[in-house]
């Protein structure tokens, strides 16, 4: 798995590359805060790799997985599962949503502000 920094991921997203960004956290965590345009496929799903394939359309597509923070291991485990399932271009954004926010990059939330 190749690891991306927040700025490298932002450049890939801005370049409008055919890139699928996957948040591997629980749905409630995704609703709270996620990278704009990212899809939620929780790592603990029984058919995780199949669900990612449904989002990407191909095992040759570029896929970036991320979780909560540098100390969260879910993105590393997700990348390993995708590698084992035959995905060819898997990247990890191991800093997760925490590093994204700390870099001052935009975040979406599905929870209404009070």
User: What's the structural domain count of the chain?
Assistant: 1
Say whether pLDDT at 17 is over 90: no
The parent domain of residue 28 ranges over 2-102
**90 falls within a domain:** yes
Say whether pLDDT at 113 is over 70: no
Listed residue (19, 32, 14) closest to 105, CA to CA:
14
**77 falls within a domain:** yes
pLDDT at 54: 97
pLDDT at 112: 76
**108 falls within a domain:** no
pLDDT at 1: 81
**32 falls within a domain:** yes
Report, as an integer, the average pLDDT of 53-80.
96
User: Cα–Cα distance between 20 and 56 in angstroms, integer?
Assistant: 6
**112 falls within a domain:** no
pTM attached to this predicted model = 0.93
Higher-confidence residue of 65 and 110: namely: 65
Listed residue (55, 75, 72) closest to 64, CA to CA:
75
Tokens 């956290």, residue located: 25
Q: What is the mean pLDDT of the chain?
A: 94
Say whether pLDDT at 32 is over 80: yes
HEC sequence for 34-58: ECCCCEECCCCCCCHHHHHHHHHCC
**36 falls within a domain:** yes
**10 falls within a domain:** yes
Say whether pLDDT at 44 is over 70: yes
**86 falls within a domain:** yes
pLDDT at 114: 63
Q: Look up the CATH number of the domain holding residue 47.
A: 3.40.250.10
Structure tokens at 57: 């359309």
Residues, the chain:
114
């Amino acid at each position: 798995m190749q690891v991306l920094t927040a700025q490298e991921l932002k450049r890939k997203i801005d370049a409008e590359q055919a890139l699928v960004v996957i948040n591997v956290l629980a749905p409630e965590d995704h609703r709270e805060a996620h990278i704009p345009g990212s899809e939620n496929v929780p790592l603990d799903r029984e058919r995780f790799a199949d669900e990612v394939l449904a989002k990407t359309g191909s095992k040759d597509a570029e896929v970036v997985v991320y979780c909560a923070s540098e100390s969260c291991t879910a993105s590393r485990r997700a990348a390993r599962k995708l590698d084992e399932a035959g995905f060819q271009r898997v990247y990890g954004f191991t800093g997760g949503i925490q590093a994204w926010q700390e870099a001052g990059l935009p975040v979406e939330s599905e929870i209404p502000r009070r």
